[in-house]
Amino acid sequence: MFSKLLSATTVVLATTQLVAAQTSTACDPTKKTCPDDPALGTTVTVDFTKGKSDLFTAADGTTVTYDGNGAVFTINKAADAPTITSNKYIFFGKVELVVEAAPGAGIVTSFVLQSDDLDEIDWEWIGSDTTQVQSDYFGKGDTSTYDRGGYHSVSNPQSNYYTYTLDWTKDYVRWYINGQQVRELLYADAKGGTRFPQTPMQIKLGTWCGGGPDSPEGTAEWAGGRTDFSQAPFIAHYKTLTITDYSNGVKNAEKYHWPSGSDGSYSSIDVITGDGSSSSASSSASATSSAKSSATSGSSSATKTSETKSTLSTSTVSATSSASATSGSESSASSTATASGNNDSASASSSGSAAAANTSAPATTTSGALKTGFSVSALAAGLMVAFML
């Protein structure tokens, strides 16, 4: 029994390490008073082929060059992690990115929306995976479940430009490749909306190395293996970016204000307009309730069918094989450590997802986060598993 206890606990602790990490935030408005978020409030197109955009700020240590292919993000060594972050926020919106991902085992290219309280929506590319791109989402930095991420078929994203789109409203998130929807997340599907991304977000673009000599084994495995720097440089080209801020349905938005006591729900956040007036989403509470009810009733079938809408189909695997794939998928952690959260801390770990643990049906393949450390709850889970053996 004791050997079973050790074995089971080890497995649970290892799994916990894959999903415990979260991205960083400079100020979480649900925990303290933070500055208002400056609103984009309109639609803009950023053409990186014409050079640097004032809409973005480079992370410390970042060097980005520009040419006819757009913004050039270069990895020459393991410590390189070029990252830029928008200095404006969108409060629901649509973002379209034309990008050619960086090649190379262990090299990750990322396109992330992230909020102050760690809501997040992602696209991620593994440099050695020439057939797929990964999608993901997080609510409030929660990495406690295994059912968030997915793989979507796309041919040679490291040598072809594709348009990757995130369409984000209070009711759904939709992922598109070249205009074809490959995934949909409904509000009710994210733990009844409690983990649905719904707070003002910045846009973060970045490329980083998950296969460096000091990267954890699991991170390197998820990122496609150890990076051979004799093949450097590894380059991603971010070409153009079109951003539309829905401003939660309010015109002339200038700021997004989190009142004291905000629980991180979209209805608790005020939109401050150009004339100084404030419009709160809570005024549409009845419409919100109706939307939630509709999302709940249709969520299961919609989610299952949306991933097969195009020939760029979502790859699925069984829960067992997903769990195996996830043993190396923890690097969405570092991903948003650099590509997502690098603006706050170069060493920050990112949110990631792990493989779906639903044993009754196939589950979408997922990516995951990495964080070492001991978990009392994990130990308890280990005890439970052991006594069930």
Catalytically active residues, by annotation: 120, 124
**Structure token digits, residue 223:** 């990122």
CA geometry: angle at 119 spanning 78 and 109, to 5°?
Answer: 30
d(CA 154, CA 296): 30
d(CA 117, CA 29): 7
Is 350:335 a contact under the CB 8 Å cutoff? Answer: yes
Selection from 221, 364, 369 nearest residue 303 by Cα: 364
Selection from 114, 242, 96 nearest residue 180 by Cα: 96
Q: How deeply is 351 buried, as exposed, middle or buried, from its count of CB atoms within 10 A (0-12, 13-18, 19+)?
A: buried
d(CA 389, CA 386): 5
Measured in whole angstroms, the distance separating CA 326 from the mean position of its chain's CA atoms is: 16
**Structure token digits, residue 254:** 């200038």
CA distances from 44 to 55, 71, 170, 274 (A): 10, 17, 21, 18
